[in-house]
A and B are shown apart, each in its own frame.
Chain A
Amino acid sequence: MVDEATKKSLTCIPVLKTKAGPRDKDLWVQRLKEEYQALIQYVQNNKGADNDWFRLESNKEGTRWFGKCWYIHNLLKYEFDIEFDIPVTYPATAPEIALPELDGKTAKMYRGGKICLTDHFKPLWARNVPKFGIAHAMALGLGPWLAVEIPDMIEKGVISYKEKT
């Protein structure tokens, strides 16, 4: 089940309209504009809620995305790189978000650092195509994953705080 905080943040992210993938030429450009618009709104929402937890940007074609996410645990801010590609069958297929630095440090990850999502994610995504986009994948996928896995990895000593110089 999706927790209440995630549900609330999801409802505040604008939904997308255009069903287009990276090979759909002009329609893909339209989809990309919608993706960016939704992401901008989501980041603004997060800033307003004092929970600014990620940044993302893409290559010019919008097929490769990268950025950073942050998780605060015991007053320390942990930072991780994010990367993912847009699958050819997007948006029917959700992007596989990866945190490459954590590859091999948790069982909740596929090879290459791709995060394992809960059983709820795929059917929820499928029911909401094409309305859900990258912002929704972050809210439904990476956000909850960080909340569960990062504290666990910290407690186990698998990851340690890196002070910014």
Chain B
Amino acid sequence: VDTSGVSLDDLMAQMKAM
């Protein structure tokens, strides 16, 4: 995984939007 440049909040929102 490459998590550079992305926040946890962004990732949580991305998962929720799927």
Q: Which residues of chain B have a CB within 8 Å of any CB of chain A? A: 1-3, 6-8, 11-12, 14-16, 18
Which A residues touch B3, using CB under 8 A?
Answer: 30, 33-34, 37
Write the nearest CB–CB distance from B5 to chain A, whole angstroms: 11
Beyond the given pairs A15-B1, A17-B1, A41-B1, 12 more chain A to chain B contacts, judged by CB atoms under 8 angstroms and listed by A's residue number, are A16-B1, A29-B8, A33-B7, A33-B11, A36-B8, A36-B12, A37-B1, A40-B15, A40-B18, A44-B18, A57-B12, A57-B16
The CA of A37 and the CA of B15, in the complex, are separated in Å by: 9
> Looking at the complex, which one of B1, B7, B12, B14 makes contact with A34 (CB distance below 8 Å)?
B1
A82 lies within 8 A of chain B by Cβ: no
A38 CB within 8 Å of chain B: yes
**For chain A residues 29-71, which have a beta carbon within 8 Å of chain B?**
29-30, 32-34, 36-41, 43-44, 47, 55-58
For the complex, is A91 an interface residue (Cβ under 8 Å from B)?
A: no
Decide if the interface of chain A is mainly helix, strand, loop or mixed.
helix
Q: Residues on A close to B: CB < 8 A?
A: 14-17, 29-30, 32-34, 36-41, 43-44, 47, 55-58
Given the complex of chains A and B, what is the CA–CA distance between A35 and B17 in angstroms? Answer: 16
B17 CB, nearest partner CB in chain A, Å: 10
Among B7, B8, B14, the residue within 8 A (CB) of A40 is B14
